């Protein structure tokens, strides 16, 4: 098997494993894209809340029971998505009920159990293979 310049030659088993991982990752991204109607940025925003709500309690909890709150700027910082793009995505997610807006302008997860189940399954899968 030929090697890429600077890298040792790969054995067929390493290549097969890499192709398996690539095909699984492709299926994963396609599935996620379908759940978020083609908008992977909205998935990243949702993922911020899931990660936040499974991390140590160093960020205040929102009083309405929606879990820990985030701002548009904190989402932009976490994801690298430009702030104005986050604002537009959040507007759509608020209308869809995926997020809730607190009286203080903070954002929490809304009602999106089917999507959260998918995220949780993905996290469980990656924990198994890590």
Domain boundaries, the chain: 12-129
pLDDT higher at 56 or 96? 96
Q: Enumerate residues 6+ apart whose C-beta is below 8 A from 82.
A: 76
For 37, counting Cβ atoms within 10 Å of its Cβ (0-12 exposed, 13-18 middle, 19+ buried), the class is exposed
pLDDT in tens, 4-41: 455 555 555 666 778 888 888 888 888 888 877 889 99
CB distance 75 to 81 below 8 Å: yes
> CA nearest 35: which of 22, 47, 49?
47
**Among the listed residues 128, 74, 84, the one whose alpha carbon sits nearest the alpha carbon of residue 106:** 74
- CATH of region 12-129, choose from 3.30.70.360, 3.50.50.60, 3.30.70.260, 1.10.10.10: 1.10.10.10
CA 80 to chain centre: 12
pLDDT tens digits for range 67-121: 678 999 999 999 999 999 999 999 999 998 889 999 999 998 887 656 666 666 6
Would you tell me how many other CB atoms lie within 10 Å of the CB of residue 74?
Answer: 16
Are 62 and 110 in contact by the 8 Å Cβ rule? The answer is: no
């Amino acid at each position: 098997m030929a090697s890429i310049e600077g890298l040792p030659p790969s054995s067929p088993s390493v290549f097969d494993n890499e192709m398996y991982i690539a095909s699984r990752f492709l299926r994963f991204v396609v599935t996620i894209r379908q759940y978020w109607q083609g908008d992977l940025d909205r998935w990243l925003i949702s993922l911020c809340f899931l990660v936040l709500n499974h991390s140590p309690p160093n960020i205040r909890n929102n009083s309405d029971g929606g879990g820990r709150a985030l701002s548009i700027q904190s989402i932009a910082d976490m994801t690298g998505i430009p702030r104005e793009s986050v604002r537009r995505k959040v507007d759509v997610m608020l209308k869809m009920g995926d997020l809730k807006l607190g009286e203080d302008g903070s954002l929490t997860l809304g009602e999106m159990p089917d999507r959260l189940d998918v995220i949780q399954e993905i996290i469980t899968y990656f924990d198994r293979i890590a």
